[in-house]
Structure 1
Amino acid sequence: MIIFLYGQDTFRSKEKLRELKNKFIREIDKSGLNLIELDGEKININDFNKAVSTQSFLSKRRMIVIRNIFLAKKAVHGDLLEFLKSKKPDKSGDENIIIFFEAEPDKRTALFKYLNASKFKEEFKKLENNNLINWITKRVSEKGGKINGQNADYLASKSDGNLWALASEIDKLIAQKKDEEIGKKEIEESPLAKIADNIFNLTDAIAKQDKKLALRSIDDNLEAGMNEMYLLSMIVRQFRIIVRVKTALLNGLADNQQIAKKLGFHPFVVQKAMPQVRLYNMEKLKKIYEKLLATDLLLKSSDLNKKAIIENMVVKI
């Protein structure tokens, strides 16, 4: 049996993987000795064959979890695909369970197409709009907290759909409010909301060519505990929003609600971004994007002071 779990939302995909592993231990192998995990990036076909073909120990089947197989060499993909296609289905119900777990598989590959044709596959797309609001409401309730729809909507607007960050923030808000309902005031004062506001203020200063304020904002974010790579990723996110909203405007969409629906953004995000959007043309935005990509490469590969790299980028944008 092949199970394929993939998608950008690794929070929910990892929850699903944990659920499958727990079920295997609970119902099939209480010892856990027949649950094997392999690093797909380092695997070769012999490792895979051994893991799949070795007889289970005091259990009728094994579970093999393979992460990041799409980071393996292409030759491994070919060998693996050939092996999988050669396996005959076992109708006894005793066949091993092979789980492929991926965040961002290459959908162009033959391996992806084969795995995606599996009967047991699930893609975990990033939650947006009502799906994200519903997830927040459900998560708060499951954790023993209370939140109304309006405040769940507001909390969603302060995130980029990162469920890891949201789950952590929800835990803190519930602990803070105890048996009381989570209100807008607590959300506004939360680190998640402050990060979103700080990044907006930084990109707003960049848009208005206020270098002094932009540099001060960098200092504020770093002093608050944000590292340079995360700071850059949040700046990239905001400019990605600006580019997409600008493109929507150029394509004839003028209403904020229409744009939000088309792009899968929260209406508040579009409304707040609009003043920045109107300060740029597409040519300028393309140049900024090139600078952001160059800065990302420099942060990852250079020994230069990381704060200085970010500051230099902001001054030159």
Structure 2
Amino acid sequence: MRYMAEKATTQIYCWYGDNDFAIFEQVKKWREMFAQKYSALNVVSFDREEANVTDLVQALKNAMRVDSLFGSEKLIILRNFLQPEKKEKKTDEESKTKDKKEKAEPRDEAADALVELLDKFSGDFFIVFIQIGQPDGRRALFLKLKKLAATGRAEIKEFKSPRGFEFKQLIRQIIEKKKARFDDSAIELLMATVGNGLWQINQEIEKLIHYRQGEIVRREDVDFLVKGKFNDNIFALMDEIGAGQKSRALELLHDQLDNGVNEIYLLAMLTRQIRLLIIAHDLVTTYGIKDKNELARRMKVHPFVAQKVLVQTKQFSREQLESLYRSLLVIDTSLKSDNVDARLLFDRFIAGL
């Protein structure tokens, strides 16, 4: 009987992309389902980077043989067989010699063996190729998979990291899957504190669920338990904004986005920072608080954050902070309701300083 295939003829799957969390969650699900239906002994995996070529080729051939002892059904997971060729430093002479071969198909004995084996393996086998990042489209193995996909024997799927509102939706799905409850402000703060790392988000969710013991997780729980990685670049960005250095502020902002920082995370961090500055500004001007520990106690933040905020309050007036806060609310509304370029929105925010 066919197993897990969406189509009766699909036996080969290629999962790639930068969302490694989603890829490995999918692999974990398939492993568990296959082991439950057949046996864990019927699931085998190989990593191109963890074995020498000779042993790997022989192991692949053995794995693709039908073993009547454990049944004919097998799930074979293959990782890093589609990765781009690693570039090595060459001398000037070597570079000149190999320039003409730059576009040539990279050779890999293990991958080449798989090209042949894909046409010969049992009808009860399922093969999953995993590649974090983009596969090398020049490889004969990937070209073979594309050819098989055109006939329905293979399926190629890219797992993209969620962006913007999709990221928040994915966090909600993770929480629902764990049968837990988080209020919206708790999710917002979790994103602002941790960033767009799904592995850490998942770990923090587990920790918060264990802490609340079945009760709803609230904002104050996240604030208390989750160790924020208050990005120094955010503080630096606010310094440049306070000094009116638009070009430097724009450079720092672009660095964040170019390094994969989620737009919603960046917006939440900036909004949170300005909110803290408004609170600190009021405490300093109204009560004359100048001690970081006292400010930290009043604001319920870490003394490190209080110290940074205390210094930055001198760079802004209350009116400036309120204006910045309103501008970020406009960005928040646009990101949630419009199909707009987040980078353009942030650029306009800096230009309007």
Letter in 1 for 2:115: L
Q: In structure 2, do the counterparts of structure 1 residues 38 and 240 end up closer, same or farther at CA, with 3 Å as the change threshold?
A: closer
The code of the aligned residue for 2:19 comes to D
Please, what is the CA RMSD of the aligned residues?
Answer: 4.2
Verify the 8 A CA contact 1:6 1:13 in the aligned structure 2. Answer: yes
Q: 1:75 aligns with which of 100, 107, 119?
A: 107
User: Of residues 65, 72, 76 in structure 2, which corresponds to 1:54?
Assistant: 65
Quick check: 1:62–1:97 contact (8 Å CA) kept in 2?
yes
Matched, 1:4 2:14: yes
2:66 partner amino acid: Q
Query: Which residue in the other structure is 1:64 paired with?
Result: 76
* Equivalent residue in structure 2 for 1:112, among 142, 146, 162: 142
Distance 2:74 2:236 in 1: 52
Structure 1's 264 and 174: CA in aligned 2 closer, same or farther, altered over 3 A? farther
- Structure 2 distance, partners of 1:191, 1:184, is 10
Cα distance, 1:264–1:102 mapped onto 2, change above 3 Å: farther
**Runs of at least 4 residues off by over 6 Å:** 206-209
Q: Which 5+ residue runs of structure 1 have no aligned equivalent?
A: 210-234, 245-253, 280-317
For residues 264 and 36 of structure 1, the distance between their equivalents in structure 2, rounded to whole angstroms, comes to: 43
**Cα shift at 1:180:** 3.0
Equivalent residue number for residue 306 of structure 1: none
Cα distance in 1 between the residues matched to 2:341 and 2:235? 22
Measure the CA separation in 1 of the matches of 2:340 and 2:137. 26
Corresponding residue of 1:97: 126
Q: 1:237 to 1:57 in 2, by over 3 A?
A: farther
Percent identity of equivalent pairs: 16
Following superposition, the deviation at residue 22 of structure 1 comes to: 1.6
Shift of 1:103: 0.8
- Which ranges in structure 2 are unaligned for 5 or more consecutive residues? 1-10, 86-105, 244-253, 264-327
The equivalent position to 1:40 in structure 2, one of 48, 53, 58, is 48
Instruction: State the structure with more CA Rg.
Output: 2
Instruction: Call closer, same or farther: CA 1:72–1:136 in 2, change over 3 Å.
Output: closer
Aligned to 2:220: 185
Contact 1:68 1:101 in 2 (8 A): yes
Give, in whole Å, the separation in 2 of the partners of 1:150 and 1:14: 28
**How far is the alpha carbon of 1:206 from its aligned partner?**
7.4
Secondary structure of 1:121's match?
strand
AA matched with 1:46: V
Are 1:167 and 2:202 counterparts?
yes
Equivalenced residues, count: 236
Question: Would you say the 8 A contact 1:9–1:103 is kept in 2?
Answer: yes
Matched position secondary structure for 2:127: strand
Within the alignment, does 1:16 sit opposite 2:26 as a pair?
yes
Q: Is the 8 A contact 2:46 2:79 kept in 1?
A: yes
What SS does the aligned partner of 2:72 have?
coil
| Residue deviations 1:32-85 (CA, integer Å, cap 9, x gap) | 3332221213453733642444332521133221111134863117x7357536
Cα distance, 1:160–1:33 mapped onto 2, change above 3 Å: same
Displacement of 1:17: 0.5
Residue type at the aligned position of 2:145:
L
Name the aligned partner's letter for residue 132 of structure 2. A
Match of 2:158 among 102, 123, 128: 123
Distance 1:53-1:108 versus aligned 2 partners, 3 A rule: closer
Say which of 189, 211, 221 aligns to 1:176.
211
Secondary structure of the corresponding residue to residue 162 of structure 2 = coil
Q: 2:163 corresponds to which letter in structure 1?
A: E
Confirm or deny: 8 A CA contact 1:6 1:103 kept in the other structure: yes
> Structure 2: how far apart are the matches of 1:168 and 1:81?
39
Deviation at residue 191 of structure 1 after TM alignment? 3.4
Q: Which moved more, 1:60-69 or 1:35-44?
A: 35-44
1:145 to 174, 180, 186: 180
Q: Deviations over 1:146-171 (max 9, x none)?
A: 11345434433444422101111111
Asked whether the equivalents of residues 200 and 238 of structure 1 are also in contact (C-alpha less than 8 Å), the reply is no
Q: Confirm or deny: 8 A CA contact 1:9 1:126 kept in the other structure.
A: yes
Aligned to 1:26: 36
1:201 aligns with: 235
Task: Kindly indicate whether the alpha-carbon contact (under 8 Å) linking 1:4 and 1:120 is maintained by their aligned counterparts in 2.
Answer: yes
| Stretch of structure 1 that moved more, 153-162 or 100-109 | 153-162
2:310 aligned partner: none
Q: Which amino acid aligns with 2:187?
A: A
TM-score, length basis structure 2: 0.53
